[in-house]
A and B are shown apart, each in its own frame.
Chain A
Amino acid sequence: MPIIVNVDVMLARRKMQSKELAEKLGITQANLSILKTGKAKGIRFDTLEAICHALQCQPGDILEYLEGSPDT
């Protein structure tokens, strides 16, 4: 997948735990784990908005396009 999810990085920067973020987003830890590990097929705008709000960041801080990946 050429799109990299950097939620882990932002969590570390904000010194926040996954459990806390999951609670703030209103999703399960299992679903957050799917998102963090890049197994998710997509992300809803409202989820992205909630992540940006909780982590005080921009969508670009969460998602990254990596050129040269096998899927591109």
Chain B
Amino acid sequence: MKTVRIVSKILHVVALVLSVLYLATSLYSCVVLTLKTPQFSIIDGGRRFKIVYPFTDTAFLLGENTVAQMATMVLLIGLYGVFFYLISNVFRIFSGQKWFTEQGINRLRWFYLSNFTVPITVYALFKTFWAVESPAELLVALHGLLGVFTFFIAAIFEQGLHLQNEQDLII
């Protein structure tokens, strides 16, 4: 149990840091693309765009110079920020003293519901308007699979909470 707690605490912090980085990147890209700040530039004769790190000339985001490509990149980075935040919440459950709690079940529920709904919705949305690259279907399937596993873990937690409450009434 101690090992699980240590590993989950580490994963919680790592996922939280990734979440902050992804969300900040998404917000930064959104601001740069919207306001066309000096960090944004068009390259390759207008075919591609480039966003550089603040106060540097080092590029960190490159893509085709189309609104679709820009929107896709910003949205995906932002959504993965949310994904890492939700998964950090899941890891947080296992770092606590008591695992079977209402709060823990809610965290698992948010995680599996978002994995079931968001990837397929975003995929359908993009496919309606633009051509979607091939790995997208695989990502949707993987997120769905992750959702299924978490759904079953949430069911185990609900059963565990019920048994724990019963156990608390045995004096």
- The residues of A with any CB-CB pair to B shorter than 8 Å are 27, 31-32, 34-35, 39-44, 47
- The residues of B with any CB-CB pair to A shorter than 8 Å are 166, 169-171
Residue of A nearest to B167 (CB): A41
Residue of A nearest to B165 (CB): A41
Instruction: Tell me, in angstroms, the Cα distance from A43 to B167 when the chains sit together.
Output: 10
Smallest Cβ distance from A64 to chain B, in angstroms?
17
Report A-chain residues with C-beta under 8 Å of the C-beta of B166.
Answer: 41
Instruction: Tell me, in angstroms, the Cα distance from A31 to B167 when the chains sit together.
Output: 12
Report B-chain residues with C-beta under 8 Å of the C-beta of A34.
Answer: 169, 171
Residue of B nearest to A47 (CB): B171
Instruction: Tell me, in angstroms, the Cα distance from A31 to B168 when the chains sit together.
Output: 9
Report B-chain residues with C-beta under 8 Å of the C-beta of A32.
Answer: 171
Instruction: Tell me, in angstroms, the Cα distance from A40 to B166 when the chains sit together.
Output: 9
With contacts A27-B171, A40-B169, A41-B170 known, what are 4 further pairs, Cβ within 8 A? A32-B171, A34-B171, A41-B166, A42-B169
Smallest Cβ distance from A54 to chain B, in angstroms?
14
Smallest Cβ distance from B163 to chain A, in angstroms?
11
Which of B169, B170, B171 has most A Cβ within 10 Å?
B171
Smallest Cβ distance from A50 to chain B, in angstroms?
10
The 8 closest A-B pairs by CB, nearest first: A41-B169, A42-B170, A35-B171, A40-B171, A31-B171, A40-B169, A41-B170, A47-B171
Smallest Cβ distance from A18 to chain B, in angstroms?
13
Residue of B nearest to A32 (CB): B171
Instruction: Tell me, in angstroms, the Cα distance from A43 to B170 when the chains sit together.
Output: 5
Instruction: Tell me, in angstroms, the Cα distance from A42 to B171 when the chains sit together.
Output: 6
Pick 18 A–B contacts, CB within 8 A, sort by A. A27-B171, A34-B169, A34-B171, A35-B171, A39-B169, A40-B169, A40-B170, A40-B171, A41-B166, A41-B169, A41-B170, A42-B170, A42-B171, A43-B170, A43-B171, A44-B170, A44-B171, A47-B171
Report B-chain residues with C-beta under 8 Å of the C-beta of A44.
Answer: 170-171
Instruction: Tell me, in angstroms, the Cα distance from A39 to B169 when the chains sit together.
Output: 7
Smallest Cβ distance from B165 to chain A, in angstroms?
9
Report B-chain residues with C-beta under 8 Å of the C-beta of A39.
Answer: 169
